[in-house]
Structure 1
Amino acid sequence: MIHDGRTHNGIPSPTAPGGREFIQRLELEVNEHRAVHHPYLEALSKGRLPDPAGALRDYAHQYFAYSTNFQRYLTATISQLDTPEHRRVLLANLLEEAHGVSPDEAELMRKHGIELEWVENVPHPVLYQRYLKALGMDEAWLRAHPFCDEAVQWSQLFLLCCGSLGAAVAVGAMGIGTELVVRQLYTPVLEAIQTYLDVSSRDRVFFDLHQKIDDEHGEVLLRIAEELAEDPAQRSLLRTGALMALNLRAAFYDSMLWRARAMPQAHRPRTETLPGGKVPGGSAGFVDPTCNPDSLEPRPEQLEPGELIHRQVGHGSAAEAFSRSRGHPVHEVALPSRTMSFSIGKLAPGQETSNHRHAYESLIYILQGSGWSVIEGRRVEWNRGDALYVPPWNWHQHFAGNENTVYLTGTNLPLLNQLGQSVVRQEQPQGNH
């Protein structure tokens, strides 16, 4: 029976601290493991690779060799457990992996900017395949591009850990060495995806879901591990399983880092010019066939109706990390555009944004309120109905007047990412009021 270390009358169990203390020490060891702080993860998140987007595509492909078998790992772990209650709770995890996130978690998902319709009744493997398809990796592409040896070996050996070496090794591998650290592992990957790939929030939701929502899975396995650790004979086996899982992952990351560093340097294409030396801009290029002759033969992209609309953008919870970095609510428009992005920002009366700059252009339309902006030291006052332009790499900060302010921001960040632009940086020194 899974318990919290207390008896039925609330008195601490005299035997619980031994197992719990051992697992707590093991957690500390695991959190310092090289796999959790691997240089590959840092290189991805910081873009310190010849081709950050290419490296992320390679990661997406090779990681699929491991992630596509996750239900097998859970099933194998369940088969090793002797206690019916342990099997029951892990079976619930398996059902979630097979059938998507429970509607009971809808409020938590909305808090993190995840729409229920993106994930409800969608198996986790299908969520990952959605991400692959957004990168152009459909079933035909995957058949034509086999996995690397290291990815296949990782999957096969991890399955061995979960299904052939006993309950303690399986729980150590699946729980302590995997689910417990999943948030730390996915955080740099998600940061890199957001920075260097043109992928919508819906298409990348597999990573958001595991990075922000799946802590409960780790907690269940952690409690099972604590109960197994009450038997001192099981403790070394739990540690063995955890370290086997982490060492296998580290070996995979070693291979991926080598592959990423061996890629050719990505270069941003030169800006095309129109006849007469003009640079395309605004809406002029839309009607000039010399800019893009192929546009005279349009090919419609087929999307599902649900992919064409993001309902009630300003009424959901603000994108947590994005809002925190700017000090005010910012709602991302989550639609599959490859060249532009939109967000809705809100300022309370007298509130101000952080002072920041970035390598992409911004167009800002004031939907409500009044105030002013300071752009590279120049004060620009605005009211409802006005539009602002923020040039690339200009320090800027926005200030609301004495009423609530709402504004729409459009950027060309996705386009720059698609063209290989890797310098997308924001800094926040003291304000330039």
Structure 2
Amino acid sequence: MSLDSALPTRLMDTSVPRFVDDLLEKAIAHEATHHRCLRRFGEGSYGARSLDFARSYARWYHGYSAWFPHYLRAVIERLDSAEHRALLASNLAEEQGHLEEHDREVLSAMGIDPSTVDGVPHPQLFRRFCTAMGLGPEDLDAPPLPTIEWRSAFRAALRAGSGAYAVGALGLGTEAVVSTIYGPIVKGLERLPDLRREDMVFFELHCHVDDQHYDDLRTIAIDLSATEQGRRDLERGMNDALDLRLQFWGEFERAVATAPAILEIQQEAQGA
């Protein structure tokens, strides 16, 4: 007998949080969360090419990261519950740079001046990192094709799926794993000379401060996983989001491998 046929339409409340947390474990174990290029950068295996890697990553990831408010709005539009929409509306305010007092305390304890973050939308924090990597508007305003394909496919999926699918994609398949993904990036960036703490605050913010984002999405996921269809959609959304990210990593890794000095090549082309 399959799991779906054995479950009632409305599931036992005690089984629901465990189901969501089991999905989280799968998401954290997914290859997209621990891609080898992340591990290599975090371990310093790129050596003298680490700066080229960081610059290329900044350019490629910027186009996806800049659209995060669009992803969040797409999920809000798919939710039927006013309570659920309100939770994500508060997340959207945080994406625009709003800090709670607790967030300020955490940042201060980490040695980060909250004034360097407060009121600054998260896409601008990432752009600050890109600027520190030597990238200008001409680099950032024309994302690589794999970035365009990733962000477009992801937003389209969020808009087309059910509320549970969208929460699975943005919550379990994205927000739940970013701290794991960004951990090795922070380690790799710390090895780079002349990179200031405030230049990489985007990553530390998402590693140590933005836990409330996932907590809210987890709360919504638990509510939406109380039915068979809700569970199926949550898992499908999570898997689709992770698979899209994995496809991006593959394209990015190939580009880094075949263009070890991407920034220099771009500069030469512009000067020609």
Shorter-chain TM-score tier: 0.7 to 0.9
Query: Match of 1:128?
Result: 126
Distance 1:159 1:238 in 2: 16
Distance 1:156 1:99 in 2: 24
Structure 1 residue 236 corresponds to structure 2 residue 249: no
Distance 1:226 1:112 in 2: 32
Distance 1:181 1:264 in 2: 28
Query: Match of 2:51?
Result: 53
Query: Match of 2:173?
Result: 177
In the alignment, residue 233 of structure 1 is paired with which amino acid?
Q
- SS where residue 177 of structure 1 aligns? helix
Structure 1 residue 250 corresponds to structure 2 residue 241: no
**Kept in 1: contact 2:55–2:135 (CA 8 A):** no
Report deviation, 1:81.
0.2
Taking the TM superposition and a 5 Å limit, the aligned residue runs for 1:334-413 are none
Query: Match of 2:136?
Result: 138
- SS where residue 198 of structure 2 aligns? coil
**Kept in 2: contact 1:102–1:120 (CA 8 A):** no
Structure 2 length normalisation: TM-score? Answer: 0.87
Report deviation, 1:256.
1.4
Query: Match of 1:62?
Result: 60
Structure 2: state its 5+ residue gaps: 1-10, 263-272
Structure 1 residue 42 corresponds to structure 2 residue 34: no
Distance 2:176 2:212 in 1: 9
| Structure 2 counterpart of 1:260, from 252, 256, 263 | 256
In the alignment, residue 40 of structure 1 is paired with which amino acid?
C
> What do residues 226-278 of structure 1 show as CA deviations (whole Å, max 9, x unaligned)?
11001122101100000111111111111111122223489xxxxxxxxxxxx
Structure 1 length normalisation: TM-score? Answer: 0.56
| Structure 1 counterpart of 2:196, from 187, 197, 200 | 200
Distance 1:147 1:43 in 2: 24
| Structure 2 counterpart of 1:155, from 147, 151, 156 | 151
In the alignment, residue 132 of structure 1 is paired with which amino acid?
C
Structure 1 residue 29 corresponds to structure 2 residue 29: no
Report deviation, 1:197.
4.9
* Cα distance, 1:87–1:264 mapped onto 2, change above 3 Å: closer
| Structure 2 counterpart of 1:112, from 86, 110, 113 | 110
Structure 1 residue 79 corresponds to structure 2 residue 77: yes
- SS where residue 57 of structure 1 aligns? helix
Distance 1:84 1:47 in 2: 46
Query: Match of 2:95?
Result: 97
Report deviation, 1:222.
0.7
* Cα distance, 1:261–1:226 mapped onto 2, change above 3 Å: same
- SS where residue 22 of structure 1 aligns? helix
- SS where residue 51 of structure 2 aligns? helix
Report deviation, 1:138.
2.7
Query: Match of 1:330?
Result: none
**Kept in 2: contact 1:40–1:254 (CA 8 A):** no
Distance 1:40 1:141 in 2: 22
Distance 1:119 1:103 in 2: 13
**Kept in 2: contact 1:51–1:263 (CA 8 A):** no
- SS where residue 191 of structure 2 aligns? helix
- SS where residue 196 of structure 1 aligns? coil
Distance 1:103 1:125 in 2: 21
> What do residues 391-415 of structure 1 show as CA deviations (whole Å, max 9, x unaligned)?
xxxxxxxxxxxxxxxxxxxxxxxxx
In the alignment, residue 60 of structure 2 is paired with which amino acid?
Q
> What do residues 125-184 of structure 1 show as CA deviations (whole Å, max 9, x unaligned)?
1111111111222324434xx322111111011112222111011000000001111110
In the alignment, residue 117 of structure 2 is paired with which amino acid?
V
- SS where residue 152 of structure 2 aligns? helix
**Kept in 1: contact 2:55–2:134 (CA 8 A):** no
In the alignment, residue 155 of structure 2 is paired with which amino acid?
L
Query: Which structure shows the higher strand fraction?
Result: 1
Structure 1 residue 216 corresponds to structure 2 residue 212: yes
Distance 2:169 2:45 in 1: 30
> What do residues 370-404 of structure 1 show as CA deviations (whole Å, max 9, x unaligned)?
xxxxxxxxxxxxxxxxxxxxxxxxxxxxxxxxxxx
* Higher relative contact order (CA closer than 8 Å, sequence separation 6+): 2
In the alignment, residue 25 of structure 2 is paired with which amino acid?
L
In the alignment, residue 110 of structure 1 is paired with which amino acid?
S
Distance 2:78 2:211 in 1: 23
Report deviation, 1:116.
0.9
Distance 1:264 1:98 in 2: 35
In the alignment, residue 39 of structure 2 is paired with which amino acid?
E
* Cα distance, 1:232–1:141 mapped onto 2, change above 3 Å: closer
Query: Match of 1:311?
Result: none
